Amino acid sequence: MHIAEGYLPPLHAAAWTVVAAPFVVHGARAVVRQVRDNPESKLLLGAAGAFTFVLSALKIPSVTGSCSHPTGTGLGAVLFRPPVMALLGTIVLFFQATLLAHGGLTTLGANAFSMAVVGPWVAYGVYRLVRSVGGGLGLGVFFAAALGDLATYCVTSAQLALAFPDATSGVLGSVLKFGSIFAVTQIPLAVSEGLLTVLVVRLLVRVSPAELERLGLLKRPSEPTEVTA
Amino acid sequence: MTRSTLLNWLLLVAVVVLVAFPVVFVDGEFAGSDGQAEEAITESHPDYEPWFAPLYEPPSGEIESGLFALQAALGAGVVGYYFGVVRTKRRLGADRPAEAGRSADGVGPETADD
């Protein structure tokens, strides 16, 4: 989903930067508030950011015979809500743009919008939807991570289609063309990311249930039982 | 092994199978999709010139893959650190429920964690 440096016309690059910037600034404030109000969640916040760091570094082969990488933003979005991931995801993209020549500074806005804004929001929305219709934690997390991942690549396809509409079939034809490159390749990867995120959440439930209760993923024991000494 | 642990292992195996399947059964070059998108742009819009170049580019594929490995290693290190810390905290807490109870009225030595 990394649009390469210089591969969006200046007008598009500027527009996406303007669109993404408020989300990232809002995200930075959300991170500061999270750390200030819940200092004990600092470590898990770091781990959620690190999860994105790992997954977005892994180029994974797909059934289309090409490689792509998961995004890892669904976990943090479900744990800490999407604004936090707007900042963390953008930091990852910035690292890759400056040190790895992967993505770019001119395309940072567009890439941040797809991976750090839309992906996490879709993940969070899907998670809430699944939980509200009675789905369990695992099911909610799976669809959140998988569809958040897929949504990121759909946005990238649309961004490129808007910048490079097909000569004959227009923007729509171009969406299909870039979609076949990105979105189709991404389907098995999205499933992998979903399963992996479920695994991580299951481990979190085991080792730090109190933390998940505080974040609202697990219900607190229904009766406020007195802490017997 | 509990059912929960078994399910965790199955999840891990499923991920590995999903990743390994294409390499074994699909005949492809496994080029990056980002690069393919670039090619598609060059093909449909041959007159488009990228107007900005990366400030720093890893001088070789080896160095680039090394930096990617570094990125993954840093991330995995932090995730592992988190699980190590909370697991240890939980163990130490679970080992001393009686003591924790006794010191509920005062400040016991173990309440001063960290």
- Tell me if B50 is assigned to some domain: no
Which residues span the domain enclosing B81? 62-95
- Tell me if B76 is assigned to some domain: yes
Can you tell me the distance from the alpha carbon of A141 to that of A124, in angstroms, rounded to the nearest whole number?
A: 9
Selected residues 41-80 of chain B with any CB under 8 Å from a CB in chain A = 41, 44-45, 48, 50-58, 64, 67-69, 71-72, 74-79
Tell how strand B31-32 and strand A66-68 pair up: parallel
**B52: chain A residues, CB-CB within 8 Å:** 5-6, 104-106
Q: Which of A6, A84, A12 is nearest to A44 (CA)?
A: A84
Q: Read off the pLDDT of residues B19-59 as tens digits, 9 standing for 90 and up.
A: 999 988 888 888 889 889 989 998 889 989 899 988 888 88
Q: Read off the pLDDT of residues A99-128 as tens digits, 9 standing for 90 and up.
A: 888 999 999 999 999 999 999 999 999 999
The pLDDT confidence band at residue A8, using thresholds 50, 70 and 90, is very high
Number of domains in chain B: 1
- Tell me if B68 is assigned to some domain: yes
- Tell me if B84 is assigned to some domain: yes
- Tell me if B110 is assigned to some domain: no
The pLDDT confidence band at residue B102, using thresholds 50, 70 and 90, is very low
Which DSSP helix (H) or strand (E) runs through A66?
strand A66-68
- Tell me if B67 is assigned to some domain: yes
pLDDT surpassing 60 at residue A66: yes
pLDDT surpassing 50 at residue B108: no
Which of B54, B55, B75 lies at the smallest CB-CB distance from A53?
A: B75
The pLDDT confidence band at residue B100, using thresholds 50, 70 and 90, is very low
Mean pLDDT of the residues in chain A = 93
- Residue A15 CB: number of other CB atoms within 10 A? 18
**A51: chain B residues, CB-CB within 8 Å:** 75, 79
CA distances in angstroms from A136 to A15, A142, A196, listed in the order given: 39, 10, 16
The pLDDT confidence band at residue A227, using thresholds 50, 70 and 90, is low
* Buried/exposed B15-37: b ≥16 CB within 10 Å, e otherwise: beebbeebeeeeeeebebbbebb
**B27 Cβ under 8 Å from any chain A Cβ:** yes
Percent of chain A whose predicted confidence (pLDDT) is above 90: 85
> Which of the two residues, B106 and B1, has the higher pLDDT score?
B1
Which of B11, B32, B52 lies at the smallest CB-CB distance from A67?
A: B32
Q: Are A27 and A116 in contact (CB under 8 A)?
A: yes
